[in-house]
């Protein structure tokens, strides 16, 4: 048996939500069919659609360790190193199938991080968070839900801890404790796929101290809970989607979105609370989530596959694919992309079992992988733009190509190799533009830089986790400075 939804069922499940969403200063009445939001919904729907294709079943589905039923891997708790490796391969696959952010990794990573931390809190404090969490997890798996993992707070004055902020809402916090639950206020920023989610899982964003205990809170709520408001973020070239299904969008089918999620005195029942003032476990939750999510950037390898394919095609359309420097640049793109894949596979294959039974990636290697992600996609994009040429950003619109007045000139002067239609050439150039400069660039480039923490966050973790003393010891030993272990 399984409870796997298909793409159509997922779409219909979103229509049942009553989300309070604003964009361009106005409330969005029909979130599912809005032309700017719809491509991002299509990308999430793909994670449902492809689970039903036999060739992808092994990567996109798993066996629930709670019920034994077949579930979507995006709702799975990793039970082995093999699960961690399959997660990396799944990310690359979905990135290649959508060429954008498909928005489910952050929820998956939040679930896995909480499965470890709730168990650890219970072990020390005698609480029952893990029991609550497992009941919630069973609900998510049974209903095949999309979870938005919400960690990043606005932060206000970065030099001040949460409890010293002039405006306490700069970090989400508890404002009232009741017999039946808690009330919270604040916001979570940069929320990937928020309005395409059924649930929102909140976690603290930094290590909290005793004085910040009101900010040490984690919980889950339905996405349309009273008091939650979504304000959609802007993306480069986003209003092209209002022009209809034209190839000027670059990616004809899929996209991503980010949102600011505001919590205005939102009630959370106790059964949905997974951390409450246990500030001593915020570091573990933040760092484990970050490690999982840094592994998740396997998706950029999949988008890189698409960009490399588009660049090779553009070179062939231009008649330049045999030039030695073009060949060499394509090789460089592939070398960089496959190096990224090495990183996400390495941190997965070196994973280990935590006390909760959940498998965690190698945290050092996950941070090294994400550090490479902050760099290599930018170089891959630079090479793609180099080979594509300036027409990528100066070509006329599709309307000009279709126009009786200008179409003949666009066809004539933007044709290239014989046998290749001008339209096909313009389509592939628009795809490259989309991935490296347009709406998809949010997911491929800016997200590569700042998603799962800024580059400096990874460097701090690398410095902390590398065994520098051991490296020095073996160096001294081999050159005769030390006679033994000193």
Q: How far apart are CA 243 and CA 88, in angstroms?
A: 35
Catalytic residue among 61, 192, 374, 439: 192
Catalytic residue among 98, 100, 101, 278: 101
Q: Is 439 a catalytic residue?
A: no
DSSP string over 261-298: EEEEEEEEEGGGEEEES-GGGHHHHHHHHHHHHHHGGG
User: Is 105 a residue of the active site?
Assistant: yes
Catalytic position from the list 47, 50, 105, 119? 105
Would you call 446 exposed, middle or buried from its count of C-beta atoms within 10 A (0-12, 13-18, 19+)? middle
Report the alpha-carbon distance of residue 280 to residue 9 in Å, rounded: 41
List the strands of the sheet with 228-232, edge to edge.
26-27, 21-23, 228-232, 259-269, 181-188, 173-178
Burial class (CB in 10 A: 0-12, 13-18, 19+), 324: exposed
**Is there a catalytic annotation at residue 297?**
yes
**Active-site residue, selected from the candidate residues 49, 293, 358, 436:** 293
Report the sign of the C-alpha dihedral through residues 119, 123, 124, 125, in that order: positive
- Give catalytic status of residue 101 as yes or no: yes
Half-sphere exposure of 122 (CA within 13 A, CB side): 16
- The phi, psi pair for 83, rounded to 5°, reads -60, -40
**Local structure of 2: helix, strand or coil:** strand
Distances (CA, A) of 354 to 77, 80, 196, 437: 12, 11, 31, 41
> Is 207 noted as a catalytic residue in this protein?
no
> How large is the C-alpha radius of gyration of the chain?
24
The single residue of 297, 317, 359, 444 carrying the catalytic annotation is 297
Cβ neighbour number for residue 291 with a 10 Å cutoff: 27
258 carries an active-site annotation: yes
Q: Which residue among the candidates 100, 147, 299, 347 is catalytic per the annotation?
A: 299
Active-site option among 258, 278, 287, 398: 258
Residues 6+ positions from 7 with CB-CB distance below 8 Å: 45, 46, 48, 49
Active centre residues (catalytic)? 101, 105, 192, 258, 293, 297, 299, 447
């Amino acid at each position: 048996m399984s409870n796997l939804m298909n793409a159509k069922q997922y779409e219909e499940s979103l229509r049942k939500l009553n989300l309070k969403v604003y964009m361009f200063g106005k409330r969005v009445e029909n979130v599912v069919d809005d032309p700017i939001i719809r491509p991002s919904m299509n990308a999430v729907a793909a994670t449902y659609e492809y689970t039903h294709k036999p060739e992808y079943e092994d990567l996109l589905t798993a066996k629930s360790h709670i019920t034994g039923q077949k579930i979507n891997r995006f709702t799975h708790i990793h039970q082995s190193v093999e699960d961690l490796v399959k997660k990396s391969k799944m990310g690359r696959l979905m990135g290649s199938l959508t060429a954008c952010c498909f928005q489910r990794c952050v929820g998956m990573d939040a679930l896995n991080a909480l499965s470890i931390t709730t168990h650890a809190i219970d072990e020390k404090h005698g609480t029952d968070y893990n029991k609550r969490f497992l009941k919630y997890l069973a609900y998510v798996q049974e209903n095949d839900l999309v979870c938005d993992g919400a960690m990043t707070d606005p932060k206000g004055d970065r030099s001040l801890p949460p409890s010293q902020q002039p405006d306490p809402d700069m970090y989400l916090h508890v404002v009232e404790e009741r017999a039946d639950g808690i009330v919270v206020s604040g916001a979570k920023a940069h929320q990937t796929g928020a309005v395409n989610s059924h649930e929102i899982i909140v976690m603290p964003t930094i290590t909290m101290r005793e004085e910040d205990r009101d900010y040490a809170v984690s919980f889950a709520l339905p996405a349309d809970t009273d008091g939650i408001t979504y304000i959609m973020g802007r993306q480069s070239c986003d209003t092209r989607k209002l022009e209809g299904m034209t190839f000027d969008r670059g990616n004809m089918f899929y996209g991503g979105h980010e949102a600011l999620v505001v919590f205005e005195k939102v009630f959370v029942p106790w059964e949905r609370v997974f951390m409450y003032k246990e500030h001593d476990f915020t570091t573990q939750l933040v760092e484990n989530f970050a490690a999982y999510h840094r592994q998740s950037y396997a998706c950029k390898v999949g988008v890189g596959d698409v960009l490399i394919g588009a660049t090779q095609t553009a070179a062939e359309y231009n008649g330049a694919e045999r030039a030695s420097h073009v060949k060499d640049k394509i090789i460089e793109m592939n070398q960089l992309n496959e190096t990224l894949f090495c990183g996400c596979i390495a941190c997965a294959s070196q994973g280990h079992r935590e006390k909760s039974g959940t498998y965690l990636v190698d945290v050092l290697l996950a941070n090294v992988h994400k550090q490479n992600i902050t760099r290599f996609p930018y170089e891959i994009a630079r090479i793609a733009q180099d080979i594509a040429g300036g027409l990528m950003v100066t070509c006329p619109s599709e309307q000009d190509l279709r126009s009786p007045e200008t179409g003949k000139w666009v066809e004539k002067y933007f044709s290239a190799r014989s046998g290749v239609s001008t339209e096909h050439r313009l389509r592939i150039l628009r795809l490259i533009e989309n991935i490296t400069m347009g709406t998809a660039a949010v997911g491929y480039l800016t997200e590569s830089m700042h998603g799962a923490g800024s580059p400096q966050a990874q460097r701090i973790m690398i410095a902390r986790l590398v065994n520098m003393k051991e490296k020095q010891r073996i160096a001294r030993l081999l050159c005769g400075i030390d006679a033994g272990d000193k």
